[in-house]
Amino acid sequence: MPLGWAAPIYDWYCPKLGLGPKFRAATIALAKLRPGMKVLEVGCGTGVLTRLAAAAVGPQGAAVGIDPAPEMIAVARQKAEAGAQFRLAVIEDLPFADASFDVAFASAMLHHLPPATKDAGLREVFRVLRPGGRLVVVDLDRPANPLWWLLFFPLLAWPMTASNLRGEIPGFLARAGFAPVVRHGRWLQLLSFWTADKGGAS
């Protein structure tokens, strides 16, 4: 489900939902980015995280954000800084060669995908990561308090969000081939951070 309609207000709105600079810094920290690394963000939206990744990997590295919403990609390109590139594409058909990236991010985007697309998309991310590469995921998880359950239980009826709320994201990551899959804590008692590594580094 592309989110083009939200593009004009997205960067204003996210911090008001608690997804501001501290949230972005917590996400970036899990990737352990170093200068020269190649980074992919799937479902990049307006490109906030891709720009932070580009700054972290410096001029020898690169960060590419992909998103199927032309409106999101247009905003991302307007705001792009050195080293950050943006392309129209979907996670389930990534236009990149095998083993092209050291690190990938999927931030607040898996809950936009029905289960079959989560599976297909995560297999694609696995393919384009190099052996030893890392995927950092942050997304909806099982709510950690009753109030959130009260507000969010209607989303159990929606195929895109139901598997998130049932706590199934680690299972999707493992099925795509990632190991280990590690949860690193929660955000607002509603989202979780995970790292999912691709083995096989020499």
Binding site for ligand SAM (CB under 6 A): 1-3, 14, 42-45, 48-49, 67-69, 72, 90-92, 107-109, 112-113, 117
Residue 152 φ then ψ, to 5°: -105, -10
How near is the Cβ of 14 to ligand SAM at its closest, in Å?
6
Cβ(53)–Cβ(28) below 8 Å: yes
Q: Residue 37 or 89: which CB sits closer to ligand SAM?
A: 89
Phi, psi of 191 (to 5 degrees): -100, 160
**C-beta closer to ligand SAM: residue 151 or 179:** 151
Helices 48-57 and 21-29 cross at an angle (nearest 10°) of 50
CB of 36 or CB of 159, closer to ligand SAM: 159
Q: Pick the closest to residue 92 from 54, 120, 128, 134 (CA basis).
A: 120
**Residue 144 is inside which H or E element, if any?**
none
What is the closest distance, in whole angstroms, from the C-beta atom of residue 76 to ligand SAM in the complex? 9
CB of 202 to ligand SAM, least distance (A): 31
Residues with Cβ within 8 Å of residue 168, at least 6 apart in sequence: none
In the bound state with ligand SAM, the residue whose beta carbon lies nearer, of 22 and 200, is: 22
The pair of three-digit structure tokens given for residue 164, joined into one six-digit string: 């998130």
Instruction: Name the residue nearer to ligand SAM (CB basis): 5 or 146.
Output: 5
Which residue of this chain has its Cβ atom nearest to ligand SAM in the complex? Answer: 45
Nearest distance in Å: CB 201, ligand SAM: 26
Least distance between ligand SAM and beta carbon 107 (Å): 3
Q: Where are the alpha helices (DSSP H) in the chain?
A: 10-16, 21-29, 48-57, 70-79, 115-128, 146-152, 159-165, 169-175
- When the beta carbons of 59 and 69 are compared against ligand SAM, the nearer one is 69
Instruction: For the CB of residue 142, give the shortest distance to ligand SAM in the complex, in Å.
Output: 19
